[in-house]
Amino acid sequence: MLWIKALHIVFVASWFAGLFYLPRIFVNLAMVPPGSDAERERLLLMARKLMRFTTVLAAPALALGLYLWLGIGIGLGEGNGWMHAKLAVVVLVLGYHHACGLLLKKFQQGRVTRSHVWFRWFNEIPVILMLAAVILVVVKPF
């Protein structure tokens, strides 16, 4: 079980690293001046590769987490409200990941209307989600 936990933590941390950095690329894309096609294409290439890599990392993170929960029974039973809250956070992280994919498609199509400031704030969301998940798992407040 400890190996599964360790691998789960590694894949979750790696997944979040991508979710921390991808919106940072969006900030830079939103700041590309008109006519800077080479810079825009380079940032889009980086974003596409990072999105693909981040998605690949999410799969084992989720699979190992499901195994810990349903296979081993971590968080099952009475008095495990923290697990329900953590699962809600996981759903929010998946939604954020999906939103990043949609934003990337909009950037590729040249249809992004949001400013770099908006993307700077958007970039803070995974920090809050990771903080919530870690507190729920370690502190188990309810």
The pLDDT tens digits of the residues spanning 81-112 come to: 999 999 999 999 999 999 999 999 999 999 99
Look up the pTM and report it. 0.95
Distance, in Å, from the CA atom of 57 to the CA atom of 13, rounded to the nearest integer, reads: 9
Mean pLDDT of 109-127: 97
- The model's pLDDT over 3-61, given as tens digits with 9 standing for 90+, comes to 999 999 999 999 999 999 999 999 999 999 999 999 999 999 999 999 999 999 999 99
DSSP string, 60-128: HHHHHHHIIIIII-TT-STT-HHHHHHHHHHHHHHHHHHHHHHHHHHHHHT-----HHHHHHHTTHHHH
In the predicted structure, residue 114 carries a pLDDT above the cut 90: yes
> Is residue 86 within 8 Å of residue 75, measured between CB atoms?
yes
Residue 120, C-beta contacts closer than 8 angstroms, at least 6 positions apart: 27
Residue 72's pLDDT is 94
46: helix, coil or strand? Answer: helix
